[in-house]
Structure 1
Amino acid sequence: MPLFIVAIGIVVLLILITGFKLNTFVSLIIVSFGVALALGMPLDSIVSSIEGGLGGTLGHIALIFGLGAMLGKLIADAGGAQRIAMTLIDKFGEKNIQWAVVVASFIVGIALFFEVGLVLLIPIVFTIAKQLRVSIVYLGIPMAAALLATHGFLPPHPGPTAIAGEYGADIGMVLLYGIIVAIPTVILAGPVYTKLAKKIIPSAFNKSGNIDSLGEQKTFKLEETPGFGISVLTSMFPVILMSIATIINMIQTSGGIEDNAFFTVVRLLGNASTSMLISLILAFYTMGIARKIPVKTVMNSCAVSISHIGMMLLIIGGGGAFKQVLIDGGVGDYVAELFTGTNISPLLLAWVVAAILRISLGSATVAALSTAGLVIPLLGQYDVNLALVVLATGAGSSICSHVNDAGFWMIKEYFGLSMKETFGTWTVLSTITSVAGLGFILLLNLFV
């Protein structure tokens, strides 16, 4: 019965969002109340469960998410992202243009959330495609693959950041393993799949696209942008800090070195929130003060970035509320009992549940957080690497983007594709990212 109630709740959520066009956050809260009642939770504990889930989720990620949005906006507004893309494209040359787009999109994708990265990079891709007289889809597929992989696997993106908090996983390890998994996944879903896509859906590669809906884009002359090195350093600085701290922590653990003040300081600096704050302060200088941009303008970029993510934060909080209802209502324990004594890998289970929810709901973040509510009680039965469970959940929540996902429509409209062509390019690409990601996670699990 608990799983049947959850299934009904997901169907209702789907109807509210897609049928009645109700706001996703409002829909999540309504369904959370409904599922809590159906599960027989005590009436006086329903509100506290929903508030606890919402607050617990946002309490962990709001700081990282907010600082990350500001960092990305500063890099974009200063022209740093454009400098990274144009420099790499120039260095790689026309013959290796796809790889230039992949590397640029990966670096930019770490600092910018998926939709922001897409809006920022698409005009650059269009310009390059026009100059080189190549198909925009030929460059668009590797760009989208890199942005999707960073969105699904790497903090400070909302999905992996929120799930790491729910599972209690070390966010530095998630980042380190996420990069190891994301790189080969992007290669398969990007340049490799492009060759196959040209044979399967050749018509897509003849489209000219339309980015008029993006409005007038802020473009820079290359000499007006920050240097390539400082742009990459600023974008990657939180990754560098968290990775260094994670590696030092691994050395300490494996070497049995006694804890001291040095390791305490390293852990503080490598904490995701601290890393993001230090990186933002660095960006204030490199993307602002050093370029003689007024502090007021820099602060305005920060304010605008936060206004853009307000609703996303509420949706993530709503997903956390739904997750908590599933745990407090006993659904997670029911699932745990269901799989007691079975040999199914929790990595595979997390991926399957997240994939089903993603296909049903459309939102990768909501799917991932709902998965946590079902999988968390199960984790106590297994000796499993929690960072890999985070990545498996992220991989599952990336699968099969279709008509209930905003990303599907963005790709369709910007690249001027038909429904069939969008399914054949973007939907297949997202599925390859998900399945290949799971494959590399299971492979990595053999060694860590």
Structure 2
Amino acid sequence: MTVLTILFCIILLVVLVSWAKMNPFLSFLIVSIIAGLLLGIPMNKVTGAVQKGLGDTLGTITIIICLGAMTGKLVATSGAAQKIAEVLVKLFGVKYIQWALVVVGFIVGIPLFYNTGFVLMVPLIFSVVYKYKLPAVYIGLPMLAALSVTHGFLPPHPSPTALVNMFHANMGTTLSYGLILAIPAIILAGPVFATTLKKIPSTPLETFRAEELPADKLPSAFTSFLTALLPVIILMGSAFYLNTDRSTGPVHNFIAFIGDAPIVMLISILVATYSLGIKQGIGMKKLAGLYGDAVKDIAGILLIIGGSGIFKEVLVTSGANNDITAMMQSMQLQPLVLGWLLAAIIRISLGSATVAGLTAAGIVSTMVLHDHTIDPNLMVLSIGAGSLAFSHVNDGGFWMFKEYFNLSIKDTIRSWSVMESIVSVVGLVGVLILNAIIK
């Protein structure tokens, strides 16, 4: 009965978000309250579970996501992303310009949230397409594959960051594993798959031509690369040190302190404020406005994450999580495959990668926390990969790609939807290989 109740609630969530077009946070809230009542939580305790789920979830990740959004906004508006693109295009040359754009998408995608990265990078793609008279989908899809991979696999993006917290995983280790998986996923879903798309007709809209900053207004290449990659450098560097040095002295404690994700993001935004802001002649008043806009951009994402936390807490409070764990353990599916499959099913049903990842994580989190044979870092990546499966007509990213590239629905499915599915499957295979190696 418990499983049927949860299945009903997930279907209701799908209906509210996709068919009724209800706000995802409001949908989560309504479904969580209904689930709590149906699962036997007393009426006077339902709101307590709702408040605890929201507070526990947002209390640990709000700093990371907000500071990450601020850094990404500054990377975009300061011209740092434009500078990174120029340097790599010059380095790779016209012959390998597609690979240059892939590297740009990956580097810029680390600090930028997906929608921001998409809007920023698409005009750059079109400027290359117009300048060199190249097939738009063939040139552009690999860069967007890189953006998609960073969105689904790598902290400090919202879903991976929230999953790291839910599974008590290590941010630096998850990021390191994610980078290992990202390379084959991007190559296969990007440049390799794109070779089959050269004949897709696409006439990008003139509206989306890039408005570039003059060269004398751009930050230096060193400053641009360092600022964009600083969170990754600190997270990976501290994780490597802490995994090799088992001491408990002041140096170890200091590295652990600066390697903590909120501190990493605080250091990054402070460095960016100077290097891409003050040093470039941008006043603090304008920077404050940019940061305010960045927080507004991700407010909806934060609420969705909070909503998923409410749903998870209702399952825990009702005891339903124990029933789910027992059922899953009786199934023959490998836990990492099960996490991927749940996320993929919800993604295909709902369209939102963030909602899919967080909903799946809420269902399997108890199993991961109690079964110490499951690597929580790999579960984060498995669910992240599943949350990218087969984007189609119920996903906003599908329509952004279709409209920006001026494609038919058929060609959008043939290119965009298949690319996302390749990323998802390659991610799962990579997780299983890593799991075999680590064990």
Normalised to the residue count of structure 2, the TM-score between the two structures is 0.96
- The question of 1:26 aligning with 2:26 is answered yes
Q: Write the distance in 2 (CA, Å) between the matches of 1:381 and 1:273.
A: 28
Residues 327, 374 of structure 1: 8 Å contact kept:
no
Q: Deviations over 1:40-75 (max 9, x none)?
A: 222122111111111111111110000000001111
1:65-104 equivalences under 5 Å are 65-104=65-104
Q: How far has the Cα of 1:382 moved from its partner?
A: 4.4
Specify the alignment match of 1:425 in structure 2: 415
Residues 89, 97 of structure 1: 8 Å contact kept:
yes
Greater displacement, 43-52 / 147-156: 43-52
Greater displacement, 106-115 / 45-54: 45-54
Q: How far has the Cα of 1:344 moved from its partner?
A: 3.1
Question: Which amino acid in the other structure matches residue 205 of structure 2?
Answer: N
1:10-409 equivalences under 5 Å are 10-198=10-198, 202=199, 204=200, 206-210=201-205, 212=207, 219-252=212-245, 257-340=246-329, 344-379=333-368, 380-409=370-399
Greater displacement, 313-322 / 181-190: 313-322
Q: Write the distance in 2 (CA, Å) between the matches of 1:327 and 1:219.
A: 51
Identity of aligned residues (%): 41
Q: Write the distance in 1 (CA, Å) between the matches of 2:202 and 2:331.
A: 49
Residues 350, 375 of structure 1: 8 Å contact kept:
yes
Name the SS for the 1:259 alignment partner: coil
Question: Which amino acid in the other structure matches residue 433 of structure 1?
Answer: V
- The question of 1:444 aligning with 2:437 is answered no
Q: How far has the Cα of 1:372 moved from its partner?
A: 1.7
Q: Deviations over 1:412-442 (max 9, x none)?
A: 1111111111111111111100000011111
Q: Write the distance in 2 (CA, Å) between the matches of 1:27 and 1:34.
A: 11
Question: Which amino acid in the other structure matches residue 80 of structure 1?
Answer: A
Q: Write the distance in 2 (CA, Å) between the matches of 1:283 and 1:211.
A: 32
Q: How far has the Cα of 1:36 moved from its partner?
A: 1.4
Residues 32, 325 of structure 1: 8 Å contact kept:
yes
Which stretches in structure 1 are left out of the alignment for 5+ residues?
Answer: none
Q: Write the distance in 1 (CA, Å) between the matches of 2:400 and 2:321.
A: 35
Q: Write the distance in 2 (CA, Å) between the matches of 1:395 and 1:3.
A: 24
Q: Deviations over 1:361-385 (max 9, x none)?
A: 2111111111122212222234121
Residues 74, 283 of structure 1: 8 Å contact kept:
yes
Q: Write the distance in 2 (CA, Å) between the matches of 1:161 and 1:438.
A: 18
Q: How far has the Cα of 1:209 moved from its partner?
A: 2.1
- What is the number of residues matched between the two proteins? 437
The equivalent position to 1:415 in structure 2, one of 405, 415, 422, is 405
Q: Deviations over 1:164-201 (max 9, x none)?
A: 00000011111111111111110111001101334xxx
Q: Write the distance in 2 (CA, Å) between the matches of 1:175 and 1:287.
A: 25
Q: Deviations over 1:275-333 (max 9, x none)?
A: 11001000011101111221211221111111111122111111211222233233321
Greater displacement, 5-14 / 65-74: 5-14
Q: How far has the Cα of 1:341 moved from its partner?
A: 5.1
Q: Write the distance in 2 (CA, Å) between the matches of 1:127 and 1:197.
A: 19
Alpha-carbon distance change, 26 to 342 in structure 1, aligned in 2, over 3 angstroms: closer
Residues 321, 366 of structure 2: 8 Å contact kept:
yes
Q: How far has the Cα of 1:5 moved from its partner?
A: 1.7
Greater displacement, 65-74 / 350-359: 350-359
Question: Which amino acid in the other structure matches residue 145 of structure 1?
Answer: A
Residues 142, 190 of structure 2: 8 Å contact kept:
yes
Greater displacement, 81-90 / 330-339: 330-339
Q: Write the distance in 1 (CA, Å) between the matches of 2:23 and 2:113.
A: 21
Residues 107, 228 of structure 2: 8 Å contact kept:
yes
Q: Write the distance in 2 (CA, Å) between the matches of 1:269 and 1:430.
A: 35
Q: Write the distance in 2 (CA, Å) between the matches of 1:333 and 1:155.
A: 29
Alpha-carbon distance change, 95 to 328 in structure 1, aligned in 2, over 3 angstroms: same
Q: Deviations over 1:104-137 (max 9, x none)?
A: 0000000100000000000011001110100111
Residues 211, 414 of structure 1: 8 Å contact kept:
no
Q: Write the distance in 2 (CA, Å) between the matches of 1:22 and 1:369.
A: 18
Question: Which amino acid in the other structure matches residue 160 of structure 1?
Answer: P
Q: Write the distance in 1 (CA, Å) between the matches of 2:26 and 2:160.
A: 23
Name the SS for the 2:41 alignment partner: coil
